[in-house]
Amino acid sequence: MSTSSETRGTTRTTTADTGTGTTPAAGTGTSTGTGTAARGTRLTLRAATLGRPDAAALAEVDLDVAPGEILTVVGPSGCGKSTLLRTLAGLLPVLAGAAEQDGRPIGGPAADRALVFQEDALLPWRTLLSNVELPLAIQGARRAERRKQAGAWLERVGLADRARQLPHRVSGGQRQRAQLARALAAGARAVLMDEPFGALDAQTRAGMQDLLVEVLHGTGATVVFVTHDVDEALFLGDRVALLGTGRLLSVRDVPRPRDRAAHDDPARMALRRDVLTSLSI
């Protein structure tokens, strides 16, 4: 039996994948073009068994991610982290128990849950601006409005001067910025992130972590962020979920304020040791 959340936090939501790397949010999730997205959503797993019928990855998972929270998820390779994300995205049905968004069953992908991968999955023949516009176009936004919104988000992630570039003309970090802009431009209420910074060098990765926190501030979006990096999990997360083989071990509060200079804070150091010990890393 997995351990349920020890404390309640706030979450950010994601959008299901449509084959473009992120799935657009729609309806009430539409952004205003000023960087403000719809408020977050609650994601819940209750006594859930996750995986495929022939290969369950996690059993009896109880997890509650609150609206506006950043929940980070850590665990060894093969423990079911990506399966957890894909279940919340609606790409995998639960084998037993329940997966819910705001108290309603998750029956499949939805426009207000965005899934962001390590591979940026931008369409290579479209400029960064056109990539960010895509989910807005799917929503039916008029050309002028979607261009305005996409441009505003590219500016917010520091890519205004790269808007007309094709993806292969920019760096990996810049492509990930564009992917984040694409998820949020469409007003995703939940952003599900599967090791999105794992392929970046240390300096770029730190910059993307700072950018993620800055850009998400004020959007109200719920975020579930999978990572192998314990320090990344503790920097980004309001709470951190620890996965072991086949089960959820615990969910722990992360000491605040969020400050890189506070890495030697006794409470943070104690939590880091506890996480590493729990995961046998």
Alpha-carbon distance of 196 to 133, in angstroms, equals 21
Candidates 108, 101, 112; CA nearest to 46 is 101
Predicted confidence at residue 263, as pLDDT, reads: 67
The C-alpha atoms of residue 103 and residue 175 are separated, in whole angstroms, by 34
Q: What is the number of alpha carbons within 13 Å of residue 30 lying toward its C-beta? A: 15
Q: Tens digit of pLDDT per residue, the chain (281 long)?
A: 333 333 333 333 333 333 333 333 333 334 434 344 457 899 999 999 999 888 899 999 999 999 999 999 998 888 899 999 999 999 999 999 999 999 999 999 988 898 888 777 899 999 999 999 998 988 888 999 999 999 999 998 999 999 999 999 999 889 988 988 998 888 889 999 998 888 788 888 888 888 888 888 778 899 999 998 898 999 999 999 999 888 999 999 998 877 777 667 888 888 888 888 877 75
What confidence score (pLDDT) does residue 25 get?
33
Euclidean distance between CA atoms 94 and 97, whole angstroms: 7
The pLDDT of residue 93: 94
* Per-residue pLDDT at 281: 52
**DSSP label of 168:** G
CA-based nearest residue to 244, from 280, 220, 213: 280
The fold for domain 27-279 equals Rossmann fold (3.40.50)
105's CB contacts (< 8 A; 6+ apart) are 98, 99
Q: And the tokens for 159?
A: 């890519």
**pLDDT at res. 140:** 87
pLDDT of residue 98: 96
* pLDDT of 102: 95
Domain boundaries, the chain: 27-279
Nearest in space to 25 (alpha carbons), one of 103, 122, 135, 130: 135
The residues with which 51 forms a beta bridge, in sequence order, are 56
Q: Is the pTM of this model over 0.85?
A: no
